[in-house]
Amino acid sequence: MNWLVSAAIVAPLLAAAGALAWRDHPRLRDGVTIVGLATATAAAFGLLIEVVSDGPTTINVGGWNGELGITLVADRFAVLVLPIALAIIFVVEIFAIGQRRTAWGANPELSGPLLGVLTAGVSLAILTGDLFTLFVAFELILVSSYVLLTHQGQREQVRSGMTYVVMNLFASTLFLIGLAVVYSATGTVNLELLAERIPELSGGARVGIGAWFFVVFGTKAAVFPLFSWLPDSYPTAPTTITAVFAGLLTKIGIYSMIRFHTITSMDELGSVMLIIAGVTMVIGAFGALAQQDVKRILSFHVISQIGYMLMGLGLFSAAGTTGAILFLIHHMPVKTVLFLTGGLIENHEGSGRLDRSGGLASRRPIIALLFAVPALSLAGLPPFSGFIAKFGVIRAGIEANAVPIVVVALVAGALTLLSMTKIWMGVFWGEPHDDDDAERLLTSTSRANRTLMVGATALAVAGTLTISLFAGPLFDLATDAANDLRAGTILDGAER
Amino acid sequence: MSIALLIVVGALTSVGLFLITARSLSRIVLGFALLGHGAVVALLASGGRPGSPPLADQSTADQISNPLPQALALTAIVIGFGLTLFLLALARRQQELAGDDLVEDDLEDRRIASESRLGHPTDDEEQGAP
């Protein structure tokens, strides 16, 4: 099953190369991209089945041992997150093919190959077993995201792209310095060895390393007060790009944080994390309430939801980590779907502004339905996946007697519902705006392309419903993954 | 870790940090170049004391210095080079669009500034993207 691990990383890279080589042949180019992403997604699901039945596996790339070479680890945590992450990119690419010929679409010659590179980076970041490969994977993801964000070269994109690039580049440099510190303190960058050696360090060095990487991963994950780049840059990109960014990029940051800080037992940082988690939730929720544009509201929600995952991690209990993992799994597809429906709204109304649209529920009830399901899920109402995820995190909070953070989480949840209601009232209810407005960018999308876009969104909505359907097994699996991480033995029972 | 290398890391990092607080993207590019160099030197220094050259007939394995941090540093240099080029391209594009290469305030900053000045947001500045 080692080839499954390689396939998840190599297939999207090959697809990117193919799509670049045949960039002048639209059908071949789109076909190659889709096949590459589908192969990677299938490999990820295969890996999930294999690991659940046979236990975790590792690959030492090139035959070097873990202390010197690159290690790829498919443990329970990785295989839980990987299929969902890759499936999201796959669905978004289908949506993108439908959207390409409209004014809102991304440049297909570049976005296909870049999405392939980004996918390879996401697979590598999830599967890596050492800290330096994680750095390389981050760079793969970020470099392609820089280009995806700014390649259209519009004024707004370049302006917000500069903030985005500078913030993330700074975090990457901090990552590199952190690597130097970790290597001189422990003599390794392998995560499994770090799990043994970091807890043996003296208190100051240990907490220092933990805090340093909290800042590094926190910038990527957009926690308070390092989030300012996110709501500024995400809405300016084409919808498909934003959907991938919102669904994946910040989540890779929080994924790395859950992995690194749990296996190295940074329990002392727990109280700081909980405070930051609370502030992140509230700031994100209030920020969303103040916005007038669908994509900007959704961007602030990304920040708010990161707070819940951080809360689960900050509790440093088995139940808390389980909750954080469940929240991660729930949040990735739901957020992507919401941005995709945001794209459908823009495509139909010519604008994502709340005061320029209205009455969409009666004219296009299917879009309203596709928005309502993930919106209610995000707000945490049963029986959707958001309820299970929030229930997991909040129950862990109550078990740990962390009453203030539980109260904050519940209030932030209510505020999220309120801003979702705002989108609903602005876009789906009320009177349609028929004025000839220069701000509108109405495009004639062919029926086939529209069907493709709605179909891709419907597929993703079905995916989020499947998650709530399999809540029981997922909960057990997440508990196992959390226990593995907390024991620090990510390779327990692995084939070497 | 030698004190000279530590001083080099400190100097590169502090000058780099000073430069990236500037508004002009060309200064920020220089700042990142220096910061990156600081990080690379720190990585090199983390490999322990320097050793003899790794030539097959002149030194044994325990005499040469640790090659792993050097491999990491090389990777980091390549990535840093690519990113510097991208930043320069971005600065060029900003100059074409805006006539300068200054990093501008984000939307929320501008909105709050205009609200405090005028008492209410103008429709223009509240305008979302794209």
ipTM of the complex: 0.83
Residue B128: its chain A contacts at CB < 8 A? 235, 291-293, 295-296, 352-353
**Exposed/middle/buried for residue B82 (C-beta within 10 Å: 0-12, 13-18, 19+):** exposed
B36–A296 C-beta distance less than 8 A: no
Is the CB of B34 inside 8 Å of chain A's CB atoms? no
Indicate the residue of A165, A183, A352 with minimum beta-carbon distance to B46: A183
Substitution target from A169, A181, A443 for chain B, most B beta carbons within 10 A = A169
CB of B24 within 8 A of CB of B102? yes
**Residue of chain A nearest B21, judged by CA positions:** A166
Sign of the alpha-carbon torsion through B76, B82, B86, B88: positive
Kindly state the greatest CA–CA separation across chain B.
Answer: 79
Structure token digits, residue B93: 């594009």
pLDDT computed for residue B119 by the predictor: 60
Q: Residues of chain A with pLDDT > 90: what percent?
A: 24
Is the CB of B74 inside 8 Å of chain A's CB atoms? no
Is the CB of B99 inside 8 Å of chain A's CB atoms? no
CB of A194 within 8 A of CB of A259? no
Q: Is the pLDDT of residue A101 over 70?
A: no
Calculate mean pLDDT across residues B79-100: 86
pLDDT (tens digit per residue) in A5-40:
888 999 999 999 998 888 888 888 888 889 999 999
Substitution target from B25, B44, B107, B126 for chain A, most A beta carbons within 10 A = B107
Structure token digits, residue B90: 């971005």
Interface size, chain A vs chain B, as Cβ–Cβ contacts under 8 Å: 115
Q: How far is B28 from chain A (nearest CA, A)?
A: 8
Alpha-carbon distance of A308 to A323, in angstroms, equals: 9
**Exposed/middle/buried for residue A203 (C-beta within 10 Å: 0-12, 13-18, 19+):** exposed
pLDDT (tens digit per residue) in B108-130:
777 777 777 766 544 444 444 44
Calculate mean pLDDT across residues A331-350: 84
CB of A134 within 8 A of CB of A73? no
Contacts for A26-32 with beta carbons within 8 Å, 24 or more apart? Answer: A26/A108, A29/A108, A29/A109, A29/A112, A30/A97, A30/A108, A30/A112
pLDDT computed for residue A102 by the predictor: 56
pLDDT (tens digit per residue) in A102-161:
555 567 778 888 889 999 999 999 999 889 999 999 999 999 998 888 877 777 888 888
pLDDT computed for residue B18 by the predictor: 94
Q: Is the pLDDT of residue A328 over 60?
A: yes
**Three-class DSSP category at B64:** strand
A165–B129 C-beta distance less than 8 A: no
Is the CB of B28 inside 8 Å of chain A's CB atoms? yes
Structure token digits, residue A71: 């290690």
Give every CB contact of residue A55 below 8 A, 6+ residues apart in sequence.
Answer: A492, A493, A494
Q: Is the pLDDT of residue B35 over 90?
A: yes
Start-to-end C-alpha separation, chain B: 51
Is the CB of A231 inside 8 Å of chain B's CB atoms? yes
Indicate the residue of A143, A170, A292 with minimum beta-carbon distance to B20: A170
Is the CB of B88 inside 8 Å of chain A's CB atoms? no
Answer with the residue of higher pLDDT: A176 or A67: A176
CB of A91 within 8 A of CB of A273? no
Answer with the residue of higher pLDDT: A66 or A418: A418
Residue entry with tokens 């495009």: A443
**Three-class DSSP category at B62:** coil
CB of B91 within 8 A of CB of B29? yes
Of B72, B73, B52, B56, nearest to B64 by C-alpha is B52
Residue A153: its chain B contacts at CB < 8 A? 93, 97
Kindly state the greatest CA–CA separation across chain A.
Answer: 68
CB of B28 within 8 A of CB of B103? yes
The model's confidence at residue A87, banded by pLDDT at 50, 70 and 90, is very high
Residue B94: its chain A contacts at CB < 8 A? 158-159, 162
B83–A176 C-beta distance less than 8 A: no
Q: Is the pLDDT of residue A435 over 70?
A: no
Q: Is the pLDDT of residue A493 over 50?
A: no
What is the number of other CB atoms lying within 10 angstroms of the CB of residue A394?
A: 22
Is the CB of B31 inside 8 Å of chain A's CB atoms? no
Substitution target from B14, B108, B110, B124 for chain A, most A beta carbons within 10 A = B108
Of A176, A342, A162, nearest to A247 by C-alpha is A342
Calculate mean pLDDT across residues A389-411: 89
CB of A456 within 8 A of CB of A19? no
Alpha-carbon distance of A83 to A81, in angstroms, equals: 6
